[in-house]
Structure 1
Amino acid sequence: MINVIQIGLGPLGQQIGKYIADKNQVQTIAAVDISEDLKGQDFGQLSVGETSGVLIENSIEDALENLQKKPDVAILTTVSSVKKLESQIENIVKHGIPIVSTCEELSFPWTEHPELSDRIDAICKKNNVACLGTGVNPGFLMDYLPSVLSSVCKDIDSVVVERFQDATPRRIPFQKKIGAGLSLEAFKAKEQTGTLRHVGLKESVYFLAQCIGLKLDNVTEDLNPVLAEEDISVSSMDIKKGDARGVEQISHGYVDGTCKIKMHFKAAIGEPRSFDRVTIKGVPSFVSEIDRGINGDIATCAITVNSLKSILKATPGLHTMSTVSVPGYLN
Structure 2
Amino acid sequence: MINAVQLGLGPIGQRLTRYLSERDGIQIVGAVDPDLQKVGKDLGEHAGDDESGIIISPDLNSCSAIGQVDVAVISTVSPLEKMEAQIQEVADCGLDIVSTCEELSHPWQTQPECAHRIDNYCKEKDISCVGTGVNPGFLMDYLPSVLTSVCREVKHIKVERIQDARPRRKPFRDKIGVGLTGSEFEENRDSIRHVGLPESVYMIAEAMNWELTNVDERLQPIQAESSIQTESGMVQPGNIAGVRQVALGLQNDKEVIRLVFEAAVGIEKSHDSIYITGTPTFTSTVDGGINGDIATSAIIVNAIRSISRATPGLKTMLNITAPAYFSRVDEGNLAKY
Q: Which amino acid aligns with 1:112?
A: T
CA distance in 2 between counterparts of 1:10 and 1:39 reads: 13
Give the distance between the partners of 2:149 and 2:24, measured in 1 at CA: 33
Q: Provide the residue aligned with 1:103 in structure 2.
A: 101
Give the alignment of 1:243-322 within 5 angstroms: 243-322=239-318
Look up the equivalent residue of 1:115 and give its one-letter code: E
1:177-215 C-alpha deviation (Å, 9 max, x unpaired): 011111111111111xx2110000011001101101110
User: How many aligned residue pairs are there?
Assistant: 327
- 1:1-331 alignment, distance < 5 Å: 1-63=1-63, 66-67=64-65, 69-191=67-189, 194-331=190-327
- State the shift of 1:23 in Å: 1.4
Provide the secondary structure at the position in 2 that maps to 1:307.
helix
Distance (Å, rounded) in 2 between the aligned partners of 1:61 and 1:134: 26
Task: Give the counterpart letter for 2:75 in structure 1.
Answer: T
1:42 and 1:118 mapped to 2: Cα distance? 37
SS at match of 2:68: coil
SS in 2 for 1:311: helix
Amino acid of the structure 2 residue aligned with 1:137: N
Aligned residue for 2:14, secondary structure, equals: helix
Counterparts of 1:44 and 1:15, CA distance in 2: 10
Query: What displacement does 1:3 show?
Result: 0.9
Kept in 1, the 8 Å contact 2:60–2:66? The answer is no
How far apart are 1:232 and its partner, in Å? 1.1
Seq. identity, %: 46
Task: State the Cα distance separating 1:48 from its structure 2 match.
Answer: 3.2
Q: How far did residue 68 of structure 1 move?
A: 7.5
Partners of 2:233 and 2:73 in 1: CA distance = 31
> What one-letter code is carried by the residue in structure 2 that aligns with 1:84?
K
Q: 1:237 Cα deviation (Å)?
A: 2.2
TM-score, normalising length: structure 2:
0.96
| Separation of aligned partners in 2, 1:233 and 1:67 | 45
Instruction: Report Cα offsets for 1:26-85 as digits up to 9, x if no partner.
Output: 12110000101211111111013321110001101111xx22842110000000000100
Give the distance between the partners of 2:311 and 2:12, measured in 1 at CA. Answer: 27
Shift of 1:256: 2.0
Moved more, 226-235 or 239-248: 226-235
The letter of the residue matching 2:227 is: D
The answer (yes or no) to whether the contact 1:305–1:330 under 8 Å persists in 2 is no
**TM-score when normalising by structure 1:** 0.97
Structure 1 alignment gaps of length 5 or more:
none
8 Å contact 1:17–1:47 — kept in the other structure?
A: yes
- Deviation digits for residues 119-148 of structure 1 (CA, Å, limit 9, x no counterpart): 000010000000000000000000000000
- Give the whole-Å Cα distance in 2 for the aligned partners of 1:307 and 1:237: 36
Secondary structure of the corresponding residue to residue 304 of structure 1:
helix
Give the Cα separation in 2 of the matches to 1:35 and 1:209: 39
Segments ≥4 residues shifted beyond 6 Å: none
Spell out, residue by residue over 1:305-328, the C-alpha distance to the aligned partner (whole angstroms, 9 max, x if none). 000000000000000000000111
Q: Distance in 1 between matches of 2:65 and 2:253?
A: 56
Instruction: Please tell me whether the aligned partners of residues 310 and 320 of structure 2 are also in contact (alpha carbons under 8 angstroms).
Output: yes
| Counterpart Cα distance in 2 of 1:314 and 1:244 | 43
Q: Give secondary structure in 1 for the equivalent of 2:84.
A: helix
Instruction: Tell me, in whole angstroms, the C-alpha distance in 2 between the residues paired with 1:293 and 1:254.
Output: 27
- Specify the code of the residue in structure 1 equivalent to 2:177: G
